[in-house]
Copies of this chain bind each other. A is one copy, B any other.
Amino acid sequence: MPNNIESYFKAAVSVDNVVFGFDQSGLKVLLIYRGAEPYRNCWALPGDLIQLDVDLNTSANAVLQNLTGLQEIFMDQIRTFGRVDRHPYGRVFTVAYFALIRIERYMVSAQAWAEQAEWFPVNEIPDLPFDHNEIIEYAKENLRQRIRKQPIGFELLSEYFTLTELQRLYESILDRELDVRNFRKKILSMDFIVETGMKQNAVTHRPAKLYKYNSEQYYKLQNSGYDFDL
Protein backbone atom coordinates (compact mmCIF):
# COMPACT_ATOMS: atom_id res chain seq x y z
CA MET A 1 0.00 0.00 0.00
CA PRO A 2 1.51 3.31 -1.09
CA ASN A 3 2.62 6.27 0.97
CA ASN A 4 0.31 8.92 -0.39
CA ILE A 5 -2.70 7.13 0.91
CA GLU A 6 -4.81 10.28 0.86
CA SER A 7 -4.90 10.33 -2.91
CA TYR A 8 -6.92 7.10 -2.86
CA PHE A 9 -9.60 8.42 -0.52
CA LYS A 10 -11.19 10.81 -2.96
CA ALA A 11 -13.85 8.68 -4.52
CA ALA A 12 -17.58 8.71 -3.93
CA VAL A 13 -19.93 5.76 -4.14
CA SER A 14 -23.55 5.89 -5.18
CA VAL A 15 -26.37 3.42 -5.29
CA ASP A 16 -28.72 3.12 -8.26
CA ASN A 17 -31.88 1.14 -7.80
CA VAL A 18 -33.66 -0.70 -10.57
CA VAL A 19 -37.12 -1.30 -9.14
CA PHE A 20 -39.29 -3.55 -11.28
CA GLY A 21 -43.05 -3.52 -11.07
CA PHE A 22 -45.76 -5.28 -13.01
CA ASP A 23 -49.36 -4.50 -13.91
CA GLN A 24 -51.88 -5.22 -16.67
CA SER A 25 -49.84 -3.39 -19.22
CA GLY A 26 -46.62 -5.25 -18.48
CA LEU A 27 -43.27 -4.98 -16.81
CA LYS A 28 -42.14 -1.53 -15.64
CA VAL A 29 -39.21 0.25 -14.09
CA LEU A 30 -39.43 3.12 -11.62
CA LEU A 31 -37.67 6.34 -12.62
CA ILE A 32 -37.45 9.72 -10.95
CA TYR A 33 -37.31 13.20 -12.42
CA ARG A 34 -34.18 14.80 -11.10
CA GLY A 35 -34.55 18.15 -9.36
CA ALA A 36 -30.87 18.45 -8.57
CA GLU A 37 -27.63 18.78 -10.47
CA PRO A 38 -26.05 17.12 -12.29
CA TYR A 39 -28.57 16.25 -15.00
CA ARG A 40 -31.28 18.30 -13.36
CA ASN A 41 -34.60 17.94 -15.21
CA CYS A 42 -33.84 14.50 -16.57
CA TRP A 43 -35.45 11.16 -15.84
CA ALA A 44 -33.03 8.78 -14.15
CA LEU A 45 -32.84 5.78 -11.87
CA PRO A 46 -33.57 6.56 -8.23
CA GLY A 47 -30.01 6.73 -6.98
CA ASP A 48 -27.80 8.96 -4.91
CA LEU A 49 -24.37 9.28 -3.38
CA ILE A 50 -24.11 7.37 -0.15
CA GLN A 51 -23.09 8.61 3.24
CA LEU A 52 -19.81 7.17 4.38
CA ASP A 53 -20.97 6.11 7.81
CA VAL A 54 -23.65 3.74 6.54
CA ASP A 55 -23.24 0.15 5.34
CA LEU A 56 -23.65 -0.40 1.62
CA ASN A 57 -26.73 -2.59 1.76
CA THR A 58 -28.41 -0.29 4.25
CA SER A 59 -27.70 2.65 1.97
CA ALA A 60 -29.51 1.05 -0.91
CA ASN A 61 -32.75 1.03 1.07
CA ALA A 62 -32.13 4.46 2.53
CA VAL A 63 -31.60 6.03 -0.89
CA LEU A 64 -34.70 4.42 -2.32
CA GLN A 65 -36.83 5.49 0.60
CA ASN A 66 -35.47 9.02 0.54
CA LEU A 67 -36.35 9.53 -3.12
CA THR A 68 -39.52 7.50 -3.57
CA GLY A 69 -40.93 6.79 -0.12
CA LEU A 70 -40.62 3.04 -0.70
CA GLN A 71 -39.50 1.24 2.41
CA GLU A 72 -38.82 -2.28 3.55
CA ILE A 73 -38.32 -3.44 0.01
CA PHE A 74 -36.12 -6.46 -0.47
CA MET A 75 -33.17 -5.40 -2.58
CA ASP A 76 -30.33 -7.37 -4.00
CA GLN A 77 -27.08 -6.23 -5.50
CA ILE A 78 -26.56 -6.59 -9.22
CA ARG A 79 -23.21 -5.13 -10.16
CA THR A 80 -20.90 -2.16 -9.73
CA PHE A 81 -20.19 0.27 -12.54
CA GLY A 82 -16.99 2.22 -12.40
CA ARG A 83 -15.96 3.92 -15.59
CA VAL A 84 -13.72 6.90 -14.89
CA ASP A 85 -15.88 9.47 -16.64
CA ARG A 86 -19.32 8.26 -15.67
CA HIS A 87 -20.00 11.19 -13.33
CA PRO A 88 -19.23 14.83 -14.04
CA TYR A 89 -18.39 15.74 -10.44
CA GLY A 90 -15.54 13.33 -9.89
CA ARG A 91 -14.85 9.66 -9.54
CA VAL A 92 -18.11 8.03 -8.57
CA PHE A 93 -18.57 4.29 -8.48
CA THR A 94 -22.15 3.16 -8.49
CA VAL A 95 -23.51 -0.06 -7.08
CA ALA A 96 -26.68 -1.13 -8.85
CA TYR A 97 -29.45 -2.78 -6.87
CA PHE A 98 -32.48 -4.71 -7.93
CA ALA A 99 -35.96 -4.92 -6.41
CA LEU A 100 -39.37 -6.34 -7.27
CA ILE A 101 -42.57 -4.81 -6.00
CA ARG A 102 -46.30 -4.97 -6.45
CA ILE A 103 -47.15 -1.64 -8.00
CA GLU A 104 -50.58 -1.22 -6.49
CA ARG A 105 -49.46 -2.22 -3.02
CA TYR A 106 -47.15 0.72 -2.49
CA MET A 107 -47.66 4.44 -2.71
CA VAL A 108 -44.75 5.84 -4.64
CA SER A 109 -44.19 9.53 -3.88
CA ALA A 110 -41.34 11.65 -5.11
CA GLN A 111 -39.40 13.10 -2.19
CA ALA A 112 -36.22 15.01 -1.35
CA TRP A 113 -34.69 16.19 -4.64
CA ALA A 114 -36.82 13.85 -6.74
CA GLU A 115 -39.55 15.94 -8.37
CA GLN A 116 -41.55 13.09 -9.83
CA ALA A 117 -41.51 9.32 -9.66
CA GLU A 118 -43.12 7.30 -12.46
CA TRP A 119 -43.32 3.79 -13.77
CA PHE A 120 -41.96 3.36 -17.30
CA PRO A 121 -42.61 0.25 -19.41
CA VAL A 122 -39.34 -1.65 -19.77
CA ASN A 123 -39.44 -1.31 -23.51
CA GLU A 124 -40.02 2.44 -23.46
CA ILE A 125 -37.21 3.68 -21.29
CA PRO A 126 -36.00 7.08 -22.54
CA ASP A 127 -32.35 8.04 -22.87
CA LEU A 128 -31.05 8.40 -19.35
CA PRO A 129 -28.02 10.20 -17.96
CA PHE A 130 -24.90 8.55 -16.56
CA ASP A 131 -24.77 4.88 -17.56
CA HIS A 132 -28.33 4.27 -16.41
CA ASN A 133 -29.51 2.71 -19.65
CA GLU A 134 -26.69 0.21 -19.43
CA ILE A 135 -27.60 -0.54 -15.82
CA ILE A 136 -31.23 -1.21 -16.74
CA GLU A 137 -30.21 -3.56 -19.54
CA TYR A 138 -28.03 -5.41 -17.11
CA ALA A 139 -30.84 -5.60 -14.58
CA LYS A 140 -33.26 -6.99 -17.16
CA GLU A 141 -30.87 -9.75 -18.04
CA ASN A 142 -30.38 -10.41 -14.35
CA LEU A 143 -34.13 -10.68 -13.84
CA ARG A 144 -34.39 -13.20 -16.67
CA GLN A 145 -31.67 -15.34 -15.15
CA ARG A 146 -33.14 -15.11 -11.72
CA ILE A 147 -36.66 -16.08 -12.61
CA ARG A 148 -35.37 -19.40 -13.88
CA LYS A 149 -33.82 -20.20 -10.56
CA GLN A 150 -36.23 -18.81 -8.03
CA PRO A 151 -39.99 -18.43 -7.95
CA ILE A 152 -39.71 -14.68 -7.54
CA GLY A 153 -42.63 -13.90 -9.78
CA PHE A 154 -45.06 -13.61 -6.90
CA GLU A 155 -43.30 -10.58 -5.53
CA LEU A 156 -44.62 -8.68 -8.51
CA LEU A 157 -48.26 -9.73 -8.35
CA SER A 158 -51.04 -8.88 -5.95
CA GLU A 159 -51.69 -11.15 -3.04
CA TYR A 160 -54.41 -12.92 -5.03
CA PHE A 161 -53.75 -13.54 -8.68
CA THR A 162 -54.98 -15.65 -11.55
CA LEU A 163 -52.86 -18.19 -13.38
CA THR A 164 -53.20 -16.14 -16.52
CA GLU A 165 -51.74 -13.09 -14.77
CA LEU A 166 -48.83 -15.20 -13.57
CA GLN A 167 -48.30 -16.54 -17.06
CA ARG A 168 -48.33 -13.05 -18.58
CA LEU A 169 -45.71 -12.02 -16.07
CA TYR A 170 -43.44 -14.89 -17.02
CA GLU A 171 -44.00 -14.14 -20.66
CA SER A 172 -43.01 -10.50 -20.31
CA ILE A 173 -39.89 -11.31 -18.38
CA LEU A 174 -38.79 -14.19 -20.59
CA ASP A 175 -39.99 -12.37 -23.69
CA ARG A 176 -41.62 -15.39 -25.29
CA GLU A 177 -44.98 -17.11 -25.28
CA LEU A 178 -45.64 -20.11 -23.11
CA ASP A 179 -48.10 -22.92 -23.65
CA VAL A 180 -51.16 -22.48 -21.40
CA ARG A 181 -51.56 -26.10 -20.41
CA ASN A 182 -47.91 -26.83 -19.86
CA PHE A 183 -47.51 -23.67 -17.81
CA ARG A 184 -50.42 -24.50 -15.52
CA LYS A 185 -49.33 -28.10 -15.16
CA LYS A 186 -45.84 -27.15 -14.13
CA ILE A 187 -46.79 -24.32 -11.82
CA LEU A 188 -49.41 -26.37 -10.04
CA SER A 189 -47.15 -29.39 -9.69
CA MET A 190 -44.84 -27.35 -7.49
CA ASP A 191 -46.82 -26.83 -4.37
CA PHE A 192 -46.15 -23.20 -3.77
CA ILE A 193 -49.37 -21.78 -5.01
CA VAL A 194 -52.80 -22.67 -3.65
CA GLU A 195 -56.39 -21.92 -4.55
CA THR A 196 -58.16 -19.40 -2.37
CA GLY A 197 -61.66 -20.53 -3.32
CA MET A 198 -62.33 -17.00 -4.60
CA LYS A 199 -62.94 -15.93 -8.16
CA GLN A 200 -62.64 -12.80 -10.18
CA ASN A 201 -65.89 -10.87 -10.39
CA ALA A 202 -67.31 -8.24 -12.67
CA VAL A 203 -65.43 -9.59 -15.65
CA THR A 204 -67.14 -10.02 -18.96
CA HIS A 205 -66.03 -13.60 -19.39
CA ARG A 206 -65.67 -16.72 -17.35
CA PRO A 207 -64.17 -15.60 -14.03
CA ALA A 208 -60.76 -17.03 -13.19
CA LYS A 209 -59.91 -18.71 -9.91
CA LEU A 210 -57.78 -16.64 -7.60
CA TYR A 211 -54.64 -18.18 -6.18
CA LYS A 212 -52.18 -17.07 -3.57
CA TYR A 213 -48.75 -18.36 -2.91
CA ASN A 214 -47.85 -20.73 -0.13
CA SER A 215 -45.00 -18.97 1.59
CA GLU A 216 -43.63 -22.02 3.40
CA GLN A 217 -43.17 -24.02 0.26
CA TYR A 218 -41.95 -20.94 -1.54
CA TYR A 219 -39.10 -20.37 0.88
CA LYS A 220 -38.26 -24.03 0.98
CA LEU A 221 -37.81 -24.10 -2.78
CA GLN A 222 -36.03 -20.77 -2.84
CA ASN A 223 -33.41 -22.00 -0.40
CA SER A 224 -32.91 -25.34 -2.06
CA GLY A 225 -31.81 -23.63 -5.26
CA TYR A 226 -34.80 -25.04 -7.05
CA ASP A 227 -34.68 -24.98 -10.80
CA PHE A 228 -37.79 -23.30 -12.01
CA ASP A 229 -37.29 -23.62 -15.72
CA LEU A 230 -40.34 -23.12 -17.88
Contacting chain B: which of A18-26, A85-93, A187-195, A197-205? Answer: A85-93
A56 and B36 in contact, given A1-B113, A93-B93 (Cβ under 8 angstroms): no
Asked if A134 is at the interface (CB within 8 A of a chain B CB), the reply is: no
| Cross-chain contact B11 with A48 (CB below 8 angstroms) | no
Contacting chain B: which of A76-84, A102-110, A122-130? Answer: A76-84
1/0 contact string of A13-31 vs chain B (CB within 8 Å): 1000000000000000000
For the complex formed, measure the closest distance between the CB of A173 and the CB atoms of chain B, giving whole angstroms: 15
Contacting chain B: which of A2-10, A151-159, A160-168, A215-223? Answer: A2-10
| Cross-chain contact A48 with B12 (CB below 8 angstroms) | no
Interface hub of A50, A54, A80, A95 (most chain B Cβ within 10 A): A80
User: Which residues of B sit under 8 angstroms from A73, Cβ to Cβ?
Assistant: none
Chain A interface size range: 35 or more
For the complex formed, measure the closest distance between the CB of A84 and the CB atoms of chain B, giving whole angstroms: 5
Distance, CA A56 to CA B57, complexed state (A): 20
Which residue of B is nearest A81, CB measured? B56
Asked if A179 is at the interface (CB within 8 A of a chain B CB), the reply is: no
Asked if A175 is at the interface (CB within 8 A of a chain B CB), the reply is: no
Distance, CA A83 to CA B50, complexed state (A): 12
Asked if A55 is at the interface (CB within 8 A of a chain B CB), the reply is: yes
| Cross-chain contact B9 with A12 (CB below 8 angstroms) | yes
For the complex formed, measure the closest distance between the CB of A185 and the CB atoms of chain B, giving whole angstroms: 21
User: Which residues of B sit under 8 angstroms from A56, Cβ to Cβ?
Assistant: 80-83, 93
A36 and B83 in contact, given A9-B11, A9-B12 (Cβ under 8 angstroms): no
